Amino acid sequence: MTVADYALRLGDDCLILGQRLSEWAARAPELEEDVALLNIALDQLGAARSLLTYAGSFTGKDEDQLAFLRAEREFTNALVMELDNGDFGTTMARQLVVAAYQLPLWQTLVSSQDELLAGVAGKAVKEVAYHLDHASSWVIRLGDGTEESHRRMQAGLDSVWPYAFELFETDALVAELVAAGVAADPAALRPTWESTMSTVIAEATLTTPESDWRPTGGRSGKHTEPFGYLLAEMQHLHRSHPGATW
């Protein structure tokens, strides 16, 4: 287990979330949201490209091989990244959960002993600050809106909530890299995440979900059923025309 494995995890998170967000193209509730969500997807994809290229440099693979030629069990993204978009409220709940996690993550990695990770973090932290502001604004707007928007925003938050806790799991790889000053300690990120979530949930007049269910397995390649369909769509063109170039 090396920094390559850690970079691959971070890259897979960004790649899969970017793919999910791209599904909102021409489907968002407002034209401006089409643009906003696709820009956020591009931010995630940009980070993914750098991280996958770095991870692949240890094994001689390029970003395309890692994105389009790996099997489902070889992806190490957290499950929350691959969840179906659901309605707009569910997507915004997922965005809030992820952005509230990614912001302190990148803020910590700016000081990583690994220069490339620190460089990616330096760019990503500025982008994710916007992602968090965007998601917070929508969650508050919908939660503290009409009776129907409040109901659907709460339902979205309830459905996403159990998946958030996988983001804060620690294993041997993370523990080793944290000790080396390379990785961010997930446990140290959680208080900031909880504070952000509590503040937004309160302002949105929502209720913090209560659930003992903690789905996990994404980091070890065990994914949800919708993930297979996501990969089929994302990888179809590359696998249909191997070696093709523009």
Q: What was the pLDDT predicted at 243?
A: 79
pLDDT band at 238 (very low <50, low <70, confident <90, very high): very high
- Rounded to 10 deg, the angle between the 88-109 and 115-143 helix axes is 150
Among candidates 142, 181, 184, which has minimal Cα distance to 13? 184
Among candidates 14, 232, 234, which has minimal Cα distance to 117? 14
Number of Cβ within a 10 Å radius of residue 133 = 12
Percent of the chain with pLDDT over 90: 95
Alpha-carbon distance values, 215 to 159, 161, 163, 167, 219 (Å): 12, 10, 6, 11, 11
How confident is the model over 216-243, as a mean pLDDT? 95
pLDDT band at 224 (very low <50, low <70, confident <90, very high): very high
Q: Tell me the per-residue pLDDT of 54-83, one tens digit each, with 9 for 90 and over.
A: 999 999 999 999 999 999 999 999 999 999
| pLDDT exceeds cutoff 80 at 1 | no
Q: Tell me the per-residue pLDDT of 31-48, one tens digit each, with 9 for 90 and over.
A: 899 999 999 999 999 999
pLDDT band at 246 (very low <50, low <70, confident <90, very high): low
Q: Tell me the per-residue pLDDT of 104-156, one tens digit each, with 9 for 90 and over.
A: 999 999 999 999 999 999 999 999 999 999 999 999 999 999 999 999 999 99
Both tokens of residue 100? 């509230």
52 contacts 15 by C-beta, under 8 angstroms = yes
How confident is the model over 199-213, as a mean pLDDT? 96
Determine the residue type at 148.
E
Mean pLDDT of all residues in the chain? 96
Both tokens of residue 21? 């967000």
Q: Is the pTM of this model over 0.85?
A: yes
Among candidates 170, 203, 171, 201, which has minimal Cα distance to 188? 170
| pLDDT exceeds cutoff 90 at 87 | yes
How confident is the model over 164-184, as a mean pLDDT? 97
| pLDDT exceeds cutoff 90 at 50 | yes
How confident is the model over 94-102, as a mean pLDDT? 98
| pLDDT exceeds cutoff 90 at 245 | no
Q: What was the pLDDT predicted at 244?
A: 77
Both tokens of residue 213? 């269910």
Burial of 77 (0-12, 13-18, 19+ CB in 10 A): buried
| pLDDT exceeds cutoff 80 at 179 | yes
